[in-house]
A and B are shown apart, each in its own frame.
Chain A
Amino acid sequence: MLMRAAPPPLGSVYQQVMDRLRGLTLLDAASALTLFLVVVFGFDAWWAKFVGYAAFLVFLLHPPSIKTWPFWACIAAASSLGLLAAWYAADNHKYLLAYWLWVITLAHAVKPESFQDKFLVSNARFFAVFIFLAAALQKFFSPTYMSGEMFETLLLLDERFRAFAQLAGIDAAIPDAAAKIVTLLKSPMSIVADNQLIFPSNDRVNFVAKLITWYDVYAQLAIGLLFLPGRRVTDLAGHCVLLFFIFTTYLPAPVFGFGWTLAIIGFVLAKDRFRHLPLAYLAAFVAILLYQAPWREWVLQI
Chain B
Amino acid sequence: MEQASGGAKRWLITWCIPAIAMAVFARQVYLNKHHQLSTWKGGGMGMFAAADGSINRFAKVYLISPKRGRQPLVRLTMPQKRLMDSALWYPVRGSFEIVANAIFATSWAAGDQLTPASLVDSTGAQTGKAAQSYYMLYPFGTRSPDEKPDWELEIEYWAMAYDPATRRITAKQIAAHRFGAAS
Tell me which of A103, A110, A144, A194 contacts B161 (CB under 8 A).
A144
A142 to B50, CA, bound (A): 6
A218 to B172, CA, bound (A): 31
**Stretch touching chain A among B18-26, B102-110, B140-148:** B18-26
Among B52, B122, B158, B164, point to the contact of A147 (Cβ < 8 A). B164
Asked whether A188 lies within 8 Å of B60 as measured between CB atoms, the reply is: yes
Q: How far is the CA of A138 from the CA of B90 in the complex (A)?
A: 17
Per-residue contact bits, chain A 83-95, to B (CB 8 Å; 1 contact, 0 not):
0001111111101
Interface mask (B155-183 → A, CB under 8 Å = 1, otherwise 0): 00010111110011111100000000000
Surface stretch bound by B, among A6-14, A60-68, A196-204, A237-245: A196-204
Asked whether A150 is an interface residue with its Cβ less than 8 Å from the other chain, the reply is: yes
Q: Tell me the bound Cα distance from A193 to B10 in angstroms.
A: 63
Q: What 0/1 pattern do residues 48 to 86 of B give for CB contact below 8 A with A?
A: 111110011010101000000000101000000000011
B interface with A by C-beta (< 8 Å): 10, 13-18, 20-22, 24-25, 37, 39-52, 55-56, 58, 60, 62, 72, 74, 85-86, 89-90, 95, 115, 117-124, 130, 132, 134, 158, 160-164, 167-172
- Contact residues of A with B, CB < 8 Å? 86-93, 95-96, 99, 102-103, 106, 110, 115, 118-119, 122-123, 126-127, 130-131, 134-135, 138-139, 142, 144-145, 147-154, 157-158, 177, 180-182, 184-199, 201, 206, 209, 216, 253, 255, 258
Q: Could you pull out 28 A-B pairs where Cβ atoms are within 8 angstroms? A: A88-B37, A88-B86, A89-B86, A90-B42, A91-B40, A91-B41, A92-B45, A115-B10, A122-B14, A123-B14, A134-B44, A134-B45, A138-B39, A138-B50, A139-B50, A144-B51, A144-B161, A149-B164, A154-B55, A182-B160, A185-B160, A186-B58, A189-B115, A191-B130, A191-B132, A195-B171, A197-B124, A198-B124
